[in-house]
Structure 1
């Protein structure tokens, strides 16, 4: 089969690799029909290469048609159309029975001190081959795959794999109350959907910041107030818009890729140039994340407000303003999305003819899998109005 493989820092290529096969009775093989590029994939592309090997298959936002199932897989069958959650969870362990699927104890990477395994990610999370490929072996398929109906294009359901469920969790964990004010940092795919979901969940006002014109325009046409962070002091602007109090809830959707942190950006670049062993040590012991968006979130939230952090961070010693957070009495919630925890809430919003979350207005580029290296470049550099790319194997 053909698959998108990591070949080195800022270098990926589509290669011919062996077809996946059933290895466990809980496996399934899925023929991929659509697979998206996530902002987290850029962390592998640019930053976290010390944790992956040349030839590793990337991608964790796939869907397709079931081709084959193992003997213990009964809730799906060949021919079913399914979305694959990005985290691999068993559904029956202590964590899963409590809805913490991203911490599944069956696939938890205890030797790395990390949570559940992820598709297409690093040695820290199981190094499981990903879904930017023609076929995908799905472990724990007795629980993970989400059956979806046939009457809408893939893009209506594809984002149950990550974007929709991640954004739903971000909004739910932001303690949104009817009529409250929510501020969202960043208007990439997660920020876009988090802002729309915040409105759907009852926020009276949703404000979001970014500097990319196409992102700002997409948010505007979906009813979001926007701030251009290249033109205004964002925390000050949020305070002005809220009578000096600050936002009741803030969703931080940018993570380690934030602009505006030149020292940390240089540290990330330097770490990526070290030999793998030294680079891993730097990441695991230093504060290398770019924290501009996180600090914006902390400054913009009101006293006794909530900050929901859904942007991914990787530095183990990042400095944060603990005195200010403690003094303001801020509640922090964060972590990988527990994908299947939220599917039942979201699915009814996708199956009708209407589109209350604006899911049909997210994808800006559909490209063949063979053009994935180009897709990574335009996504990384925000070229050609690129906000969300879907690859078609």
Structure 2
């Protein structure tokens, strides 16, 4: 979307997230998070220089789940995040920056592609600690896809856009071989790239199965979550910038699509659905709103229980614009949403949300080993501690 910095796994973003299974640990995890919000509301009520009370000492040594900031060593803005495990994560951001950790964020290795300082990376999909694909956004040849197989020691450019009318926003993978990337509309329709070899090569899919775009409609390259998949064939595309904010769905890896209106605010280039998360091919969450700080974002979240055919406004949505969303690991009902003004939790499938944290994050991702990561502006990256 030529607005957010065009000034931008099963979902949860990336194919690693699509391995999430259902279990009771997710409910316990969400319960602990809810406790975190309640505890944080009273944690500072106590002594002012006096000896800690037993209750304060207990809180200090038994902190509830919370974001723990990690030192990335850079001031880049990281809208691209691929969480592989509790120890391994990849970041992709401004100034051509790509970072990788394999020790839980204690240290970060700068694995940025050589000569990429002018590129804006907005999405990264990682298969493990060594293999990853990054997407750079921008007009014409600024949109590129690069791939590494050795942890970022070397990179290969596998796609460079040569159409001045195209502007790529997001990339997603169904598995280690099959993936898609999407561009803002070209000649009145969203353009889809496809790979069947893990991102080594890409081809433009025919547009005859793609519905016509609305006037001004585009995707938001805000969190790497405007294109997400679930399972081997289902994929969803989030839009904004037009009269209606829509979600497009394909059940055949991007060859044919259907479009559905959502109740998320639209009608302006700065408004729409910014991120999607599907925990399976049926249950999805959409978040967004108006990314301008001086504008309100009512109805900033919606839910679907039928694969995106219809969407319902959250009864109690997040209080402001949200750019990223992810299901909690091993949970059928709990998810996190993040944005510049905070992090929110739902424990009922997206129907109601409550704020857990007021720190600024652009994107969020969780892993099968019950780790959650978030990243954003000024080099911010954090892992959820429990």
- What TM-score comes out, normalization by structure 2 length? 0.26
Between Structure 1 and Structure 2, which shows a larger proportion of strand residues? 2
Between Structure 1 and Structure 2, which shows a larger proportion of helix residues? 1
- What TM-score comes out, normalization by structure 1 length? 0.26
